[in-house]
Amino acid sequence: MSQATLSVSRTRHSLAPWARIAALAVCALLTLGPVIWTVSTSLRTPAEAFDLPPSIIPTNPSTEAYRGVFDQIDVWLLALNSTLVTALIAVGQMITAGLAGYAFARLEFRFKKPLFGLVLATMMVPLQVTIVPVFLVLKSMGLTDTLLGLIIPAFPTAFGTFLMRQYFLGMPKDLGEAAMLDGCGPWRIFRSVYAPLAAPGLAIVGVLAFNYHWNEFFRPLILETSGQNYTLPLGLVSLQGNLGTGSISVVLAGVVLSMIPAVAVFVVGQRPLREGITSAGVNR
Amino acid sequence: MTNTQIPAVRPKQPAAQPAPAPGPSTRDRGTRLLATLFLAPTIVGIVVFTVVPIVGSVVLSLFHWNVIDDPRFAGAANYREVFTDSTVLVSFGNTLVFMVFAVALQLLIALVLALAVNGRMPVWLRSVFRSAFFFPLVLSAASISVVMKYLFNQDFGVVNWLLGLVGVAPVPWLTSENAAMATVILVYVWQQFGFSFLLFVGGLNNIPKEVHEAASLDGATGLRKHLSITLPLLSPTLLVASVVGIINALQVFEQPYVLTNGGPGDATRTVVMVIYESAFEQLRFGEASAVGVLLFVLIMAVTALQFRLSRRFVHYQ
């Protein structure tokens, strides 16, 4: 986790440090610029939304646009749907990935290798290739146009299972062996020894699931046909369709509202999120 | 990553003891039962929602079906149609062009920024930069595309206004066939480069600093050091970043759907958009499945090719 790993040998770097930092600052500004513009425009009155140059700090800050969003779409319902779907998927993935990861790491059973191979192979299968039959399977279960239809297929997670397997493999084996000598059965060893140690790994799985499914667009677009089952991203895009000209600040206010939980997860869950993404590269 | 370890829950047996009685002991049976229970949700889920659907896609691609009437066997007709339908062909071309430019740009930007962030600077500043480059990843591609649609508007968008300040005439970012794909790529790369960036930062931290010190003693500096030392040591990370980047890029949907809806003409229509449109707008499930199967084959082929090529270029420490 070294912050200063490479700094020792940098006495003769080709770029002066201040120039490098200035260039990085410009890049960071370009990266955050669209987000800053979104927030500031959402705080302008619809009439001033098109003003150029865009004033970063609105001259007459107004929450009119936010009231517009609540008038046009049922924000509370969409947010409730999104929260329900995302939270249940996150909890479900933590459970399924935790259990399966433990089984692959610490239990012995037949067909372990081929089953693990199957799990890994599904990481390669794009959702879009299977979406038509998945739609038909859900239709036969009567789950199209329901929130459950979004939730249940998302429970198994190949990447989460892989991550938790790595996590359990990293724990000392002696703990389980000691517990066994004390007379613990396999379930007790899992429940009392290893499961409590898995919390940080499970947090990674949960935060990754939250981030992905809060923002998910493709599956809800296909599965949810009636407005009362829409999630926030669908509501936002429909907000844009409803509008005539002149009130982009309303659309952007909607975008800001939907960003709030994602930003909250970024602030609170930044470390698990980063570790989850980094381990995608390092562990393979 | 090793599978060779001794199973944790099996009792240790002194070597002198006689061989265990035939048949599973109660404890082994307990372990197996537990394993079955623990794996059931994941394996059943994967079979029902991935394995069966893959087989289903292949079967469905051999039929004509609109959900309402009975399916009619079509043989290879759907595939023949795919190869003669100009929209589908164009969408495959668009997707490949998108993939090449999006992945190349994303890796290049991420690599340069990761190297720069790894240089000497205060710790707090480093974490500010890291967070900034990573931030777009937490936003939704759909809502970010809504925002970008306004920023890139030809008449009142901020991008053209900025360009106007330095005397560039307004660019039809989303409305001309040539510029639209470039815009979709820019928006996609803007949101995605943070992923490769994080991989590279992690990979760079894994390079032992002694390697760099040795190189400096030998007189290597700046760019030269990066090219002949950092890059080869980073090559396993580069491989992962490009494999993940390519698989993701071949599935692009939200950005072109929101920004241009595939237009102007078919200029930004991607394969996944075609799957979506033919299945869920035109109810041609057989044709959509055929396109899906071809996309799957394409992804497998590109990934396999990449691993083959990488044997020559990837160095493991």
**What is the DSSP pairing of strand B63-64 with strand B72-73?**
antiparallel
**Mean pLDDT score of chain B, rounded to an integer?**
85
Strand-pairing partners, residue A5, are none
Q: Which of A20, A211, A218 has its CB closest to that of B253?
A: A218
pLDDT of residue A170: 87
pLDDT of residue B46: 94
Q: Are B173 and B179 in contact (CB under 8 A)?
A: yes
Could you report the per-residue pLDDT of A178-206, keeping only the tens digit for each?
A: 888 888 888 999 999 999 999 989 998 99
| Token pair recorded at residue B201 | 């930062």
How many angstroms away from the CA of B178 is the closest CA of chain A? 23
Asked if B46's CB is within 8 angstroms of A158's CB, the reply is yes
pLDDT, mean of residues B240-252: 91
In order, the DSSP letters of B49-106 are: IIIHHHHHHHHHTTEE--SSSPPEE-TTHHHHHHHH-HHHHHHHHHHHHHHHHHHHHH
Q: Which of B237, B299, B244 is nearest to B103 (CA)?
A: B244
Half-sphere exposure of A249 (CA within 13 A, CB side): 23
A&B contacts, CB < 8 Å: 336
**Mean pLDDT score of chain A, rounded to an integer?**
84
pLDDT of residue A71: 83
- The answer for residues whose C-beta is within 8 angstroms of residue B25's C-beta and 6 or more apart is none
Range list of β-strands (E), chain B: 63-64, 72-73
Q: Dihedral through CA B279, CA B283, CA B286, CA B292, nearest 10?
A: 0
Cβ burial of A258 (10 Å; 0-12, 13-18, 19+) is buried
pLDDT of residue B6: 40
Helix H or strand E encompassing A20: helix A17-42
pTM for the full predicted model = 0.86
Q: Which of B295, B291, B281 is nearest to B67 (CA)?
A: B281
| Token pair recorded at residue B33 | 């039962």
Residue A168 backbone phi and psi in degrees, to 5: -70, -35
Could you report the per-residue pLDDT of B167-219, keeping only the tens digit for each?
A: 888 899 999 988 999 999 999 999 999 999 999 998 888 887 777 777 777 76
Asked if A176's CB is within 8 angstroms of B9's CB, the reply is yes
In order, the DSSP letters of A148-174 are: HHHHGGGS--HHHHHHHHHHHHTS-SH
Which residue blocks in chain A are alpha helix, DSSP H?
17-42, 64-72, 75-106, 112-122, 127-140, 147-151, 158-169, 174-181, 186-188, 199-214, 218-223, 232-242, 248-268, 270-282
pLDDT of residue B220: 67
Q: Which residue of B has its CA nearest to A141?
A: B48
Residues of B in contact with A132 (CB under 8 A): 53, 56-57, 60, 275, 279, 285, 288-289, 292
Q: Which of B243, B269, B249 is nearest to B257 (CA)?
A: B269
pLDDT of residue B12: 44
Region of B36 on the Ramachandran plot (φ > 0 left; ψ -120 to 50 alpha; else beta): alpha
pLDDT of residue B152: 93
Could you report the per-residue pLDDT of A144-160, keeping only the tens digit for each?
A: 999 999 999 999 999 99
pLDDT of residue B221: 67
Q: Are B232 and A276 in contact (CB under 8 A)?
A: no
Residues of A in contact with B299 (CB under 8 A): 124, 126
pLDDT of residue A185: 87
| Cα torsion angle, B105, B111, B113, B114, sign | positive
Residues of B in contact with A100 (CB under 8 A): 38-39, 41-43
Best probe of the B interface among A11, A31, A42, A224, by most B CBs < 10 A, is A31
Could you report the per-residue pLDDT of B12-59, keeping only the tens digit for each?
A: 444 444 444 444 455 677 888 999 999 999 999 999 999 999 999 999
Q: Are B218 and A14 in contact (CB under 8 A)?
A: no
Q: Which of B2, B31, B144 has its CB closest to that of A108?
A: B31
Best probe of the A interface among B6, B49, B131, by most A CBs < 10 A, is B49
pLDDT above 50 (res B8): no
Asked if A8's CB is within 8 angstroms of B213's CB, the reply is yes
pLDDT, mean of residues B234-250: 89
Best probe of the B interface among A107, A197, A263, by most B CBs < 10 A, is A107
Region of B255 on the Ramachandran plot (φ > 0 left; ψ -120 to 50 alpha; else beta): alpha
- What ipTM was assigned to the predicted interfaces of this complex? 0.85
pLDDT-based confidence at B98, cuts 50/70/90? very high
Distance, CA of B15 to CA of B309 (rounded, Å):
49
pLDDT of residue A241: 61
Residues of B in contact with A125 (CB under 8 A): 50, 54, 296
Q: Which of A21, A132, A240 has its CB closest to that of B146?
A: A240
Which segments in chain A show pLDDT lower than 50?
1-13, 245-246, 283-284
Distance, CA of B147 to CA of B136 (rounded, Å):
12
pLDDT of residue A6: 44
Higher pLDDT, B11 or B232: B232
